[in-house]
Amino acid sequence: METHLADWLAGTPDGEDAGENLRRCVHCGFCLATCPTYLLTGDERDSPRGRIYLMKQVLEGTTPTRSTLAHLDRCLTCRNCETTCPSGVEYGHLVDVGRKFVERQVRRPRHERLVRWLLRETLTRRRLFDPAMRLGQFVRPLLPAFLRDKVPVRRAPGVWPVRHHARKVLLLNGCTQPAMLPSIDAATARVLDQLGIEAIVEARSGCCGAIRHHLNDTEGALAEARRNIDAWLPHLEAGVEVVLVNASGCGAMVKEYAHLLRADPAWADKARRIVEATRDPAEWLPAELAGQTDRIRAALARGAVPSRLVFHAPCTLQHGQRIRGAVERWLASVGVTPAVVPDGHLCCGSAGTYSVLQPALSRQLRSNKLTALQGSRPEQILSANIGCIAHLQAGTDTPVRHWIEWLDEALNA
Ligand code: SF4
Ligand code: SF4
C-alpha cells in the first residue's frame, strides 16, 4: 500500500517499522475472517485491515478522533491476523506504533485514565498486588460477581524443591502469576528438579513489562525490560541454560525485547542475548522429558491423573511466539490425545487487561471459547498462560490448569 509518513515520523525507528508494515499490506482482507473482534461486531474498523487503514491515516498526519482510539482499544493484540496474513504484515509492531501516536493526540476521559493508571501501577507491583490478591482470595465468596471473576481460587503451591543441581534455568520473577496462582511456578520448579535441573528466580528481576507495554506506557515497559536484562545476563554468562518463561504472554513480551531496544546502542546486543536464551516450556521441555514417558504412562494407567483433556492454545503461544501444536504433540506422545478445539485459533478474550477494559467483548469471546473447549466434556482444560487460565476458570466449573501442573501431578503420582 502506498504510504507517505508524516514528517514527524519519517526516518525514525518507529517510522521505519510502521512504514514497512503499511507498505506490505495489500488490503486483500484475508485477515478479516480470523479477527475475533470483526467476527463479533462485523464493523470493518474492528478488523485488522480497517485498523491498519485508520493507523495509516494517523501516521500520515491526519488527526485521530475518539473513534480511532476506540477501534484500536477494541483490538485484543492477539496477532491472529499476523498468522493469517500472506504478505507478512507484522500487525503487532504496527499497532504498537499506531497506539502510541493516537494516545498522544486523543485525551481519554478521566475515569479511563484512572482505571489504566490503577492497572499499570498495581498489577506490576508485587508488594501491592500480592496482599491485595491474598485478601481477595480470602473473602472471595463475598465479592460481587465482576470482582470474583478476577480472583482465582487459591491452589496450594506445594513445596519448592531445595536440591541444587549443576544444570540451571532462570524462571521469570513475574507479577500477576505468582500472586494469583503460585502453584504454576512451584509445579515448574518441581518438574525441573525431577529432571535434575535447578530453577533460579532472580530477585532483582520482575514483571516482564507486558502490562505497561499494552497500556501504552512505553518507557515504563522498557525500564522493566532493562532491569530484567541486567538481572539475568550474569546468570547466562555463568552457565544458566535458558530463561524459561511459563506464562506465554510474558514469554511473548520477553521475546520482543530485542525489537523494542533495537535502536538503543547500549542495550540492543544485551536484549538480543536474552531473546536467544528465552524459551517457553512447550518448546524446551518435551526433549528434556523424553526419559519420563513410561512414568507418565504408568500414572495415566493407574488413573492417577485425568486423561480426558483439552488444550487451549493461548494467542501469545500460537500467534505471538509461533509455537503451534507442541503441547498437543507431547501429550499424544505420552498417550493422551487432547480433543480437537473448533476455532482453536481464536482468542479467549483474556488478552492481558482486555477483560477489565472491554468486559462485554471479553465475556462473549470467553463464552464462545468455553463452548468450543467443553464440547468433548473434558475432565480438565489445560493451557499455558496465567491470563487465559484465570479468565477461562471464571466461566466454568471444569478445572483449568497450566499443562505443567498436570505434568507435575503425573510425575509425582
Ligand atoms: S491479510 Fe495482510 S495484506 Fe491482507 S489486508 Fe490483512 S494485513 Fe493486509
Ligand atoms: S490483533 Fe487480533 S483483534 Fe487485533 S486486529 Fe489482529 S486479529 Fe483482530
Return the pLDDT at 382.
Answer: 98
Residue 413 clears pLDDT 90, i.e. is over it: no
307-318 mean pLDDT: 98
Residue 85 clears pLDDT 90, i.e. is over it: yes
pLDDT-derived band at 92 (thresholds 50, 70, 90) equals very high
Ligand that comes closest to the CA of residue 96: 2
Q: How far is the CA of 376 from the centre of ligand 2 (A)?
A: 27
Output the residue whose Cα is nearest ligand 2's atom 5: 48
Residue 409 clears pLDDT 90, i.e. is over it: yes
Write the pLDDT tens digit of every residue in 32-43. Answer: 999 999 999 999
Write the pLDDT tens digit of every residue in 117-163. Answer: 999 988 888 888 888 888 888 888 888 787 888 888 888 899 999 99
Output the residue whose Cα is nearest ligand 2's atom 4: 75
d(CA 393, CA 116): 24
Residue 1 clears pLDDT 90, i.e. is over it: no
Q: Cell 514528517 belongs to which residue? A: 7
Return the pLDDT at 213.
Answer: 94
Q: Which atom of ligand 2 is nearest to the CA of 84?
A: 7
pLDDT-derived band at 309 (thresholds 50, 70, 90) equals very high
Return the pLDDT at 124.
Answer: 85
Residue 183 clears pLDDT 90, i.e. is over it: yes
Q: Is the pTM of this model over 0.85?
A: yes
Return the pLDDT at 155.
Answer: 84
Q: Which atom of ligand 2 is nearest to the CA of 34?
A: 7
Q: Across the chain, what does the average pLDDT equal? A: 95
Return the pLDDT at 147.
Answer: 80
Query: Can you read off the three cell numbers belonging to residue 126?
Result: 508485587
Most distant CA pair in the chain, distance: 68
CA distances to 25, 320, 350 from 315, rounded to whole Å, are 22, 6, 10
Query: Can you read off the three cell numbers belonging to residue 399?
Result: 478445572
Q: How far is the CA of 22 from the centre of ligand 1 (A)?
A: 10
Q: How far is the CA of 348 from the centre of ligand 1 (A)?
A: 22
Q: Could you tell which of 21, 22, 26 is best to mutate to test the pocket of ligand 1, judged by most ligand atoms within 8 Å of the CB?
A: 26
d(CA 46, CA 35): 8
Q: How far is the CA of 121 from the centre of ligand 2 (A)?
A: 26
Who lines ligand 2 at CB under 6 A?
35-37, 48, 51, 75-81, 91
Return the pLDDT at 178.
Answer: 85
Ligand that comes closest to the CA of residue 48: 2
Residue 53 clears pLDDT 90, i.e. is over it: yes
Instruction: DSSP for 297-321, please give it.
Output: HHHHHTTSS---EEE---HIIIIIS
